[in-house]
A and B are shown apart, each in its own frame.
Chain A
Amino acid sequence: MNKVISGFKHSLFTCIHLFLSLVGIIALGATPALFNGLSLSITQYFLAFGNLVASLLEPSTLTYSYYKVVRPLFPEILIRYKESITIFASSFIVSLILAVLIVYCLTCLNPRIVNKVKQSLVYLEALPDILIIMILQLSIVWLFKNTGILVVEVAAAGDQKIRALPIICLSIPTTIMFTKILLFLTEEEYEKPYVSLASGKGLSHFTVFYKHVLRNVLLRFFFFTKTNIWLMLSNLYIIEYFFNSIGIFIFVKDYNSIETFTVALLLIYLPIFIYFQLFRLFTSHLLKEVV
């Protein structure tokens, strides 16, 4: 009985949380109405807010316009959305795998080298993503000029899809970030007594890492992954712009109206919200031990 009540309470809280964040997003989406040029107009803001809620309740009426050509918003934005998600998800997975591999290699090494790597990671993190993008593009073009091999497509034109280079560009800063976090978490984990016990029992280094340490580390990593997602998304925004790929961010940038912006915000926010809620639901019994 108690469990039912607490479960009910939990879901109620989740609903309230969702409702409040939706209100927050709509309030955020309506902000351009708040500024008329550079002056504030609060009445207009509330009007825009009301209009936005009304139009969001009937998604089929939403439209976007480009040079007075009005088209329905809905199938189009989802296609763009899929493109963004593909790039985001694949570079997330690639970076995570790479970061885990790097961290595993580092755990085998001398701690003095690891310290050096840590220091260099700080500098690497300071590199702005644009520098990385530019250097990559330049080197690919340079390679093309000198050898005639085009490794990957450099920029998209028209409706052409370009995926490889955006994924690579997004993966590089992300891998650096993930490596730093995972390295920190792993080092913390290695100080715990169960690791000494496991290696004392004669388990190999790989088994200890893979079967014991990695699972706990990844659990914590996914729990605190919100900032990473935020950073990746802001990098993705600029990468889409750079490569002229047809993702949701560019869609919002090109056809910017309050409605498009808010729908895009909702589309970005909701999956992340659901992910965190599900994660909390399924791992709450585990997290008590870990966090």
Chain B
Amino acid sequence: MWYYFIRQKRAVTALLFLVTLVVLSIGNSVIHDGEIRRVSLLFDENGTVSAAPFAPSAKFLLGTDRKGYDLLHLIIEGAKWTIGAGLLITFMRILIGLLLGIILAKFKKTLFQSFESFFDSFSVIPMTMISYFVLQHALTFGNGTTPEPFFLRVGFQLMILIIFAVPTITYYLGNEMKLLLNEEFVRSAKILGGRYPHLLRKHIAPHLNPILIILFLQQFIQVLVILIHLGVLQVFFGGTIVFYGGEVDSVTHEWTGLLGMYYASFMSHPWIPLVPILFFTLTIIASTFILTGLEKAYLLSKQKSFKQEIKPLKEIPSGPSFSFVKENKPKKLTPL
């Protein structure tokens, strides 16, 4: 499968892009201890002073924010939080949803339907609304007050963002598995004595894997969009510090913080919120590339393994096509 994946240039480029971002980001916190280049005042040749924010230029590739922090550096520092959180949330959502879906697929029809209707509202009501409503008080705190520990806050946010999406995914996967379980080949495997784990592994999984890849992509985009929305609503990943006078700051330097802090002033300094959004878009497009690549590679590898089993003959054997294995001497028929 990896053999086919490496051959797709777009997917590999996209993967490299994301990996570089995250590696640089982790490297920044390890080597520079999370320090970010900051220039709050600049003098030009005539000696006139200009203050931050600076527009994108050769010196600051993406410009700086109002406190003079280099935006490119900020983006790199924040990448590990945003991309990491996105991947973790997506992965956990699908893992929990899959496990519950496996159980749900065995439920009887009435129980299945009542599960669906109980969680029906989840498929209609926007996630942003629910998660904002729950997270808002837990994650914003005033400057100077002692908030809950960082890891608790992050854990809480991760949990909320995971839990509220699980019912929909569970229902979707459970339904998909239920349909597969009713297929003829699964039924015949069952009659031949296959137990549920065997059926899952050998008969359901090959059909479910492509669905899971697509689901992963959809969920990843969804998580990023929710993070953006929460950022605009000033609930940042890892917590929001509210200063006296209503100014806000993000605890970690993740991307949504930049958005939330500066979107109000984007008419005057449009590059500050546009940079994180641009990176969000790039991340989403990169993940689209990677996952379409994965899907293609998965299908190709399946075809390959199928092809290997029926090897075509390389050379046609010469000589007589048939030969007697053992020459039987004609038996003499003994008269009865």
Q: Spell out A's residues near B (CB within 8 Å).
A: 13, 16-18, 20-21, 23-25, 28, 31-32, 35, 37-38, 122-123, 126-131, 134, 137-138, 141, 226-227, 229-230, 233-234, 236-238, 241-242, 249, 252-253, 256, 261, 265, 268-269, 272-273
User: Which residues from B are CB-within-8-Å of A273?
Assistant: 120
Residue B322 interfacial (CB < 8 Å): no
User: Which residues from A are CB-within-8-Å of B226?
Assistant: 234
Query: Which listed residue (A13, A16, A229) contacts B124, Cβ 8 A?
Result: A229
**Are B277 and A265 in contact, CB atoms less than 8 angstroms apart?**
no
Q: Which of B35-43, B62-70, B84-92, B281-289 binds A? A: B281-289
Q: Shortest CB–CB separation between residue B163 and chain A, in angstroms?
A: 9
Residue B270 interfacial (CB < 8 Å): yes
Residue B336 interfacial (CB < 8 Å): no
Q: Shortest CB–CB separation between residue B90 and chain A, in angstroms?
A: 15
Q: Shortest CB–CB separation between residue B275 and chain A, in angstroms?
A: 11
User: Which residues from B are CB-within-8-Å of A229?
Assistant: 124
Q: Shortest CB–CB separation between residue B86 and chain A, in angstroms?
A: 13
Q: Shortest CB–CB separation between residue A76 and chain B, in angstroms?
A: 18
**Are B267 and A138 in contact, CB atoms less than 8 angstroms apart?**
yes
User: Which residues from B are CB-within-8-Å of A25?
Assistant: 121
**Are B124 and A233 in contact, CB atoms less than 8 angstroms apart?**
yes
> How far, in angstroms, from A110 to B118 measured CA to CA in the complex?
47
**Are A134 and B138 in contact, CB atoms less than 8 angstroms apart?**
no
Query: Which listed residue (A123, A138, A261) contacts B285, Cβ 8 A?
Result: A123
> How far, in angstroms, from A59 to B277 measured CA to CA in the complex?
42
Residue B280 interfacial (CB < 8 Å): yes
Q: What 9 A-B pairs are tightest by C-beta distance, nearest first?
A: A234-B126, A17-B117, A20-B117, A21-B120, A126-B284, A24-B118, A25-B121, A20-B118, A233-B126
User: Which residues from A are CB-within-8-Å of B274?
Assistant: 131, 134
Q: Which of B98-106, B128-136, B199-207, B208-216 binds A? A: B128-136
**Are B125 and A269 in contact, CB atoms less than 8 angstroms apart?**
yes
User: Which residues from A are CB-within-8-Å of B285?
Assistant: 123, 126
Query: Which listed residue (B123, B267, B273, B278) contacts A230, Cβ 8 A?
Result: B123
A-B CB contact pairs (8 Å), 24 listed = A18-B117, A24-B117, A24-B121, A28-B121, A28-B122, A28-B130, A31-B130, A123-B285, A126-B285, A130-B228, A134-B263, A134-B274, A137-B267, A138-B270, A226-B123, A230-B125, A233-B124, A234-B127, A234-B225, A237-B229, A238-B128, A252-B129, A268-B124, A273-B120
**Are A38 and B152 in contact, CB atoms less than 8 angstroms apart?**
yes
User: Which residues from B are CB-within-8-Å of A37?
Assistant: 138, 148
**Are A265 and B121 in contact, CB atoms less than 8 angstroms apart?**
yes
Residue B290 interfacial (CB < 8 Å): no
With A23-B118, A38-B148 as contacts: A128 and B124 at CB distance below 8 Å: no
> How far, in angstroms, from A261 to B263 measured CA to CA in the complex?
26
Query: Which listed residue (B120, B156, B288) contacts A126, Cβ 8 A?
Result: B288
Query: Which listed residue (A20, A126, A230) contacts B281, Cβ 8 A?
Result: A126
**Are B124 and A127 in contact, CB atoms less than 8 angstroms apart?**
no
Identity of the chain B residue whose Cβ is nearest the Cβ of A268 in the assembled complex: B125
**Are B284 and A128 in contact, CB atoms less than 8 angstroms apart?**
yes
Identity of the chain A residue whose Cβ is nearest the Cβ of B148 in the assembled complex: A38
> How far, in angstroms, from A156 to B294 measured CA to CA in the complex?
46
Query: Which listed residue (A13, A23, A130, A237) contacts B129, Cβ 8 A?
Result: A237
Residue B153 interfacial (CB < 8 Å): yes
**Are B125 and A265 in contact, CB atoms less than 8 angstroms apart?**
yes
> How far, in angstroms, from A24 to B122 measured CA to CA in the complex?
9
Contact with A along B231-244 (1 / 0, CB 8 A): 01100000000000
Q: Shortest CB–CB separation between residue A270 and chain B, in angstroms?
A: 10
**Are A131 and B123 in contact, CB atoms less than 8 angstroms apart?**
no
> How far, in angstroms, from A123 to B285 measured CA to CA in the complex?
7
Identity of the chain A residue whose Cβ is nearest the Cβ of B266 in the assembled complex: A134
- Which among B122, B129, B263 has the highest number of chain A CB atoms within 10 Å? B129
Q: Shortest CB–CB separation between residue A146 and chain B, in angstroms?
A: 14
**Are A20 and B114 in contact, CB atoms less than 8 angstroms apart?**
yes
> How far, in angstroms, from A246 to B196 measured CA to CA in the complex?
53
Query: Which listed residue (B125, B233, B284) contacts A253, Cβ 8 A?
Result: B233
> How far, in angstroms, from A127 to B134 measured CA to CA in the complex?
27
Beyond A32-B134, A233-B125, A256-B136, 13 extra complex contacts between A and B, CB < 8 Å: A20-B118, A21-B120, A31-B134, A126-B288, A128-B228, A131-B278, A134-B270, A134-B277, A138-B270, A252-B133, A268-B124, A272-B124, A273-B120
Q: Shortest CB–CB separation between residue A199 and chain B, in angstroms?
A: 33
User: Which residues from B are CB-within-8-Å of A242?
Assistant: 232
> How far, in angstroms, from A16 to B116 measured CA to CA in the complex?
11
User: Which residues from A are CB-within-8-Å of B152?
Assistant: 38
**Are B124 and A269 in contact, CB atoms less than 8 angstroms apart?**
yes
Residue B119 interfacial (CB < 8 Å): yes
User: Which residues from B are CB-within-8-Å of A261?
Assistant: 133
Identity of the chain B residue whose Cβ is nearest the Cβ of A21 in the assembled complex: B120
> How far, in angstroms, from A268 to B123 measured CA to CA in the complex?
12
**Are A226 and B288 in contact, CB atoms less than 8 angstroms apart?**
no
**Are A122 and B288 in contact, CB atoms less than 8 angstroms apart?**
yes
> How far, in angstroms, from A238 to B121 measured CA to CA in the complex?
19
Contact with A along B253-266 (1 / 0, CB 8 A): 00000010001001
**Are A230 and B138 in contact, CB atoms less than 8 angstroms apart?**
no
> How far, in angstroms, from A32 to B117 measured CA to CA in the complex?
22
**Are A130 and B124 in contact, CB atoms less than 8 angstroms apart?**
no
**Are A241 and B121 in contact, CB atoms less than 8 angstroms apart?**
no
**Are B113 and A17 in contact, CB atoms less than 8 angstroms apart?**
yes
> How far, in angstroms, from A126 to B277 measured CA to CA in the complex?
11
